[in-house]
């Protein structure tokens, strides 16, 4: 068609002949007017008829291959997108059921607004401070004559100040139990439910407001007898980070807070760092806590993560940085917290009754009886937190327990000869004791002698002995406080003085266990067990001696790429109470396994449930499951934190078993959970890979357009150009060079963003493979997002055609007009005076409208051209000479020329449409990533018209200018030699601006610096 245009134009320029004159013209060659291609020429010479056949056959084969290629690509990238969806499904839906109980208020909750100083209220008009209360307690506090212990609750991202009610209500019930000898006053800050996890511009403002709130709260207690000098803070989500940021303020005194408890707070790095204010805030807070660690010795910090149910903040981000200078920080996962043993989602962690009870119990144990405030002793604070959140001995906390206890009474001995025994009693109203005698064997190390005596006084002692290389284990179902003692002084018939060994016990869901290494208790002569009253209940005590190595089994985990086809299996014939299965080579975050435990018993008698605990020694992220016997149990094994470099400990599966039962343990790699781990740890980086693939595709479209004059479709060009080898080697090189100081200095001197916001240490030894997987996943997402975007445009254009009559497709040769210049200046003014994201969103809608309009016009013109071509086909006869009038010849030439011109215009419009769709697809991702700041601006519009600080103000102005040029450009300018360089330079400038915008907006860090490298390479 393009080749026929010059000839038709020459005919158009020929002078017209008189109308009355007839001319004899040779018969024109037969031409396919629809395709615009020259037909076979007629003439006297013979031609080879086999050549067209071979050509048509070759074209048919190429056509079939061309049709197969998009189909195969669609299937391949559909499979990749399906893998991503499976990983997302594992993260969002495939987790344990919610085992938390709801917290209920016994009286109607009330929130008393605290009046702030006028200067503070004027400076922070959107923020407020409230005091929580219920019933009579709320009425008494309306005059603000407070006498309790102040606790300040800070909500997180889009959080409400009313989330404090669970803590406040349970603390109030606990205070009633002690007749209000001690009680807490819970305050809460209203942050206007701001999206601080996605927009970091208000984090510094929130931090300063909390500082002012602390001053106001302490002033309320100024005239009280036991006036507090500090405030305890509980921060949920980003509220915990704001609390940590208080210490970075210049005028803040660290002694104003002595206890900080955070709930599901991403301490290490932001979940989705979309602007530089958010990342700068994280950098300042974490650097201060590392560099000023000595100044934080008097601050005790506890971070509680939600586990795998919390898909918004993965637990690895909630672990506080390890500070070697002092030991005042503790990080735990809720599934490992005693008495809770449940994973929580991001919202339920603030109302989970089991977790709130542990927090309130810890608060009351932290009270100093002399000051009636939270103790100033950091060691006691850490001891209390360990007691309630790490290892609970099923005993009330005591700061200074008695070293020795006197045991008096008359005893009678009953000999028992066994290495394992069980004692059960039912419906006993009095307290009595079992005494275990530890006699020493010098020769018969394999024999154990047990003596048990019971008297009428309901006091008896059981006496055991074993060699120093053995371990004694007791399991007992009881709710008493102190229940096991070690006898230090005894005679032949009784124990006179004992030490409390109950602190060595550990509480489990159905029982409590104490494991004693006898080599650590050589001075003990007896073990005394107190049996409580069991009216209506059954008391059971199990005891056995065993060597540790005899109960430890090693189970190598299957390879990551076994895809669940192979398995590791062991069979345990239980003769004892505990087995430790060591999971060899289980140390990386990408590893995920399914562990199947099937228990079989010889007899059908009723047995106590078995307890399975997955213990990770380098972090407090254990998970516990209780199973009936016999049963078939499935356990998911995956890590929140990878094994540290200098840690050689191995994760274990602890099986608290039943006697005379058989346990079969099978371990397999779970492909779905491996995908889930990749998504959980690197989902924030996927937009970078998607945008990188769109960049590569757009570059390929430009190259094809300038070389062939035709622009290919987005999916086809993506298949051709999105190749990992174009960027992966450069990524590996840059990641390697980042290990050198001189390279980092050069990187920073070029004002490039930081590569790593969260260093993931050696767990990413095979990161190049992970990066390759993410790149392929990003290609699949880019492919189907492009298909979805194109389909949506077609649907919108079809709706447009049914409602509005399309206009004539016109060619606009001017990129900049006064009207467009006024529009650009107006949007730049909007960006500067209000919100940059708002200006970007406006020009996006304008661009979307123009693309839809262009799509509608192209479809209308194509329909008209197809209709005209059917009516304008030349019907030439076989005669060699025919006669026509001059006017008819001219009209025919005009119609042919007009048809060719319309075809050329439509072809150029189609090429332009393909380019605009790709740019608009890319621009859509930018708009989505800027939405948080736009939403924040809209929510605070009543307080201020101008968003300050604005993360995309300057970049929005650049984007508005560049996109105004791009949206009014067409592919004809690219193919024109005179304007090719200028337009290409403008497009390159636009791409660079968009890349810079993404570098600022998409500050997504996965620990390996892929973002800047990807976009620079593109």
Local structure of residue 523 (DSSP, 8 states): T
The Cα–Cα gap between 122 and 115 comes to 12
Side-by-side strand order, sheet with 128-134: 109-113, 128-134, 184-190, 149-154, 231-236, 257-263, 300-305, 329-333
3-state class percentages of the chain: helix first, strand second, coil last, to nearest 5:
45, 20, 35
Looking at 914-960, which runs of residues are DSSP E strands? none
How many angstroms separate the Cα of 504 from the Cα of each of 79, 418, 423, 469, 654?
A: 53, 24, 21, 18, 18
* Collapsed DSSP state (helix, strand, coil) of residue 70: helix
624's enclosing H/E stretch is strand 623-627
Buried b (16+ CB within 10 A) or exposed e, 950-975: bbbbebbbbbbbbbbbbbbbbbbbbb
Cβ(318)–Cβ(303) under 8 Å?
yes
DSSP 601: E
Phi then psi for residue 944, to 5 deg, are -155, 135
CA separation for the pair 164, 49 (Å, rounded): 88
Instruction: Give yes or no for a contact between 655 and 581, defined as CB atoms under 8 angstroms apart.
Output: yes
Give the span between the Cα atoms of 76 and 597, in whole angstroms: 37
Are the CB atoms for 333 and 614 separated by under 8 Å? Answer: no
- Rounded to an integer, what distance in angstroms lies between the CA atom of residue 1016 and that of residue 730? 10
* CB 109, CB 134: distance < 8 Å: yes
Task: Please state whether beta strands 300-305 and 257-263 pair in parallel, antiparallel, or not at all (unpaired).
Answer: parallel
Q: Looking at the annotation, which residues are catalytic?
A: 237
Q: What angle do CA 704, 710, 713 make, to 5 degrees?
A: 80
Neighbouring-strand partners of residue 635: 595
Closest listed residue to residue 577, CA positions, set 471, 670, 494: 471
Where does residue 88 rank: exposed (0-12), middle (13-18), buried (19+ CB within 10 A)? middle
Angle (CA) 328-331-333 rounded to 5° is 160
Q: Which among 348, 352, 328, 351 is positioned nearest to 340, based on CA atoms?
A: 352
Distance of alpha carbon 492 from alpha carbon 500, whole angstroms: 21
What is the distance, to the nearest Å, from the Cα of residue 905 to the centroid of all Cα atoms in its chain? 49
Q: Is the dihedral of CA 905, 908, 912, 913 positive or negative?
A: positive
Quickly tell me which residue has 């291609």 as its tokens: 37
Determine the Cα–Cα distance for residues 215 and 218; give it in Å rounded to an integer.
Answer: 5
Residue indicated by tokens 């006091």: 459
Q: Tokens for 736? A: 């390697």
- Cβ atoms of residues 187 and 116 within 8 Å: no
Distance CA 336, CA 873 (A): 81
For 594, other C-beta atoms within 10 Å of its C-beta total 18
In angstroms, the CA 1011 to CA 687 distance is 10
Q: How many residues does the chain have?
A: 1018
| DSSP assignments along 229-262, one per residue | S-EEEEEETHHHHHHHHGGGSTT--GGGEEEEEE
């Amino acid at each position: 068609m393009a080749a026929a245009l010059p000839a038709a134009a020459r005919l158009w320029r020929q002078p017209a002949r008189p109308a009355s004159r007839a001319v004899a013209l040779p018969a024109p060659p037969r031409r396919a007017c629809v395709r615009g291609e020259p037909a076979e020429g007629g003439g006297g010479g013979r031609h080879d008829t086999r050549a067209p056949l071979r050509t048509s056959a070759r074209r048919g084969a190429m056509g079939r291959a061309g049709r197969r290629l998009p189909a195969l690509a669609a299937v391949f990238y559909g499979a990749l997108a399906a893998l991503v969806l499976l990983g997302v499904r594992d993260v969002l839906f495939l987790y344990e059921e919610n085992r938390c109980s709801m917290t209920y208020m016994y009286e109607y909750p009330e929130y008393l607004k605290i009046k702030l100083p006028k200067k503070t209220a004027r400076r922070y008009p959107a923020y407020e401070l409230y005091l929580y209360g219920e019933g009579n307690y709320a009425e008494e506090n309306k005059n603000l004559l407070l006498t309790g212990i102040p606790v300040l609750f800070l909500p997180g991202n889009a959080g409400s100040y009313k989330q404090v009610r669970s803590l406040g209500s349970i603390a109030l019930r606990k205070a009633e139990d002690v007749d209000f000898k001690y009680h807490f006053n819970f305050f809460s800050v209203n942050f206007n439910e701001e999206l601080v996890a996605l927009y970091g511009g208000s984090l510094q403002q929130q931090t300063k407001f909390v500082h002012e709130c602390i001053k106001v709260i302490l002033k309320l207690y100024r005239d009280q007898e036991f006036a507090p000098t500090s405030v305890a803070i509980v921060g949920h989500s980003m509220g915990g980070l704001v609390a940590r940021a208080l210490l970075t303020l210049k005028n803040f005194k660290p002694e104003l807070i002595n206890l900080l408890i955070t709930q599901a707070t991403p301490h290490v790095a932001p979940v989705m760092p979309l602007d530089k204010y958010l990342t700068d805030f994280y950098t300042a807070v974490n650097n201060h806590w590392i560099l000023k660690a000595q100044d934080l010795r008097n601050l005790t910090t506890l971070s509680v993560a939600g586990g795998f149910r919390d898909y918004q903040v993965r637990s690895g981000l909630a672990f506080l940085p390890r500070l070697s200078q002092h030991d005042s920080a503790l990080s735990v996962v809720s599934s490992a917290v005693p008495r809770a043993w449940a994973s929580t989602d991001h919202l339920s962690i603030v109302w989970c009754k089991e977790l709130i009870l542990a927090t309130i119990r810890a608060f009351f144990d932290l009270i100093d009886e002399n000051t009636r405030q939270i103790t100033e002793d950091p060691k006691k604070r850490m001891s209390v937190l360990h007691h309630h959140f790490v290892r609970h001995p099923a005993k009330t906390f005591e700061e200074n327990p008695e070293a020795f206890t006197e045991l008096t009474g008359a005893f009678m001995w009953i000999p028992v000869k066994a290495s394992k025994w069980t004692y059960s009693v039912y419906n006993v109203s009095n307290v009595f004791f079992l005494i275990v005698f530890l006699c020493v064997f010098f020769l018969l190390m394999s024999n154990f002698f047990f003596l048990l005596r019971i008297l009428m006084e309901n006091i008896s002692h059981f006496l055991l002995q074993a060699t120093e290389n053995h371990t004694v284990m007791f399991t007992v179902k009881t709710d008493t406080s102190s229940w096991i003692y070690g006898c230090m002084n005894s005679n032949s018939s009784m124990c006179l003085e004992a030490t409390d060994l109950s602190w060595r016990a550990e509480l489990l869901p159905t029982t409590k266990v104490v494991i004693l290494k006898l080599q650590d208790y050589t001075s003990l002569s007896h073990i005394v067990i107190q049996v409580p009253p069991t009216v209506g209940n059954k008391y059971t005590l199990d005891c056995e001696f065993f060597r540790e190595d005899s109960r430890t089994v090693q189970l190598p985990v299957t390879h990551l790429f076994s895809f669940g086809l192979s398995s590791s299996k062991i069979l345990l014939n239980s003769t004892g109470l505990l087995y430790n299965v060591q999971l060899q080579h289980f140390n990386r975050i990408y590893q995920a396994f399914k562990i199947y435990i099937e228990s079989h018993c010889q007899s059908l008698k009723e047995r106590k449930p078995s307890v399975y605990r997955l213990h990770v020694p380098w972090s407090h992220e254990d998970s516990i499951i209780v199973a009936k016997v016999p049963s078939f149990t499935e356990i998911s094994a995956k890590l929140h934190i990878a094994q540290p470099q200098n840690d050689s400990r191995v994760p274990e599966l602890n099986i608290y078993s039943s006697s005379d039962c058989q346990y079969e343990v099978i371990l397999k790699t779970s492909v779905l959970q491996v995908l889930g781990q990749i998504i959980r740890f690197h989902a924030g980086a996927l937009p970078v890979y998607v945008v990188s693939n769109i960049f590569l595709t757009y570059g390929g479209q430009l190259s094809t357009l300038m070389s062939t004059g035709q622009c290919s479709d987005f999916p086809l060009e993506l298949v051709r150009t999105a190749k990992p080898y174009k960027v992966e080697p450069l990524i590996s090189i840059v990641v390697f060079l980042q290990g050198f100081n001189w390279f980092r200095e050069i990187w920073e001197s070029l004002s490039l963003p930081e590569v790593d916001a969260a260093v993931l240490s050696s767990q990413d030894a095979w990161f190049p493979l992970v990066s390759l997987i993410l790149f392929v996943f990003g290609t699949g997402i880019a492919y189907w997002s492009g298909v979805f975007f194109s389909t949506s445009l077609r649907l919108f254009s079809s709706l447009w055609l049914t409602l509005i009559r399309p206009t004539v497709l016109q060619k606009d040769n001017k990129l900049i007009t006064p009207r467009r210049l006024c529009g650009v200046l107006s949007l730049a003014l909007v960006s500067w005076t209000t919100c940059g994201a708002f200006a970007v969103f406006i020009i996006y809608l304008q661009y979307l409208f123009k693309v839809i309009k262009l799509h509608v016009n192209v479809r209308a013109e194509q329909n008209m051209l197809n209709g005209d071509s059917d009516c304008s086909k030349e019907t030439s006869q076989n005669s060699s000479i025919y006669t026509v009038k001059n006017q008819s010849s001219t009209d025919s030439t005009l119609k042919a020329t007009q048809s060719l011109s319309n075809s050329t215009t439509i072809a150029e419009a189609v090429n332009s449409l393909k380019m605009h769709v790709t740019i608009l697809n890319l621009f859509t991702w930018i708009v989505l990533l800027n939405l948080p700041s736009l939403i924040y601006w809209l929510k605070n519009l009543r307080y201020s018209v101008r968003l300050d600080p604005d993360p995309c103000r300057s970049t929005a102005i650049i984007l508005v200018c560049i996109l105004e040029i791009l949206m009014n450009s067409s592919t004809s300018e690219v193919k024109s030699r005179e304007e090719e360089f200028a337009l290409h330079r403008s497009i390159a400038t636009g791409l660079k601006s968009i890349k810079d915008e993404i570098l600022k907006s998409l500050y997504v860090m996965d620990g390996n610096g892929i973002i800047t490298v990807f976009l620079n390479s593109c």
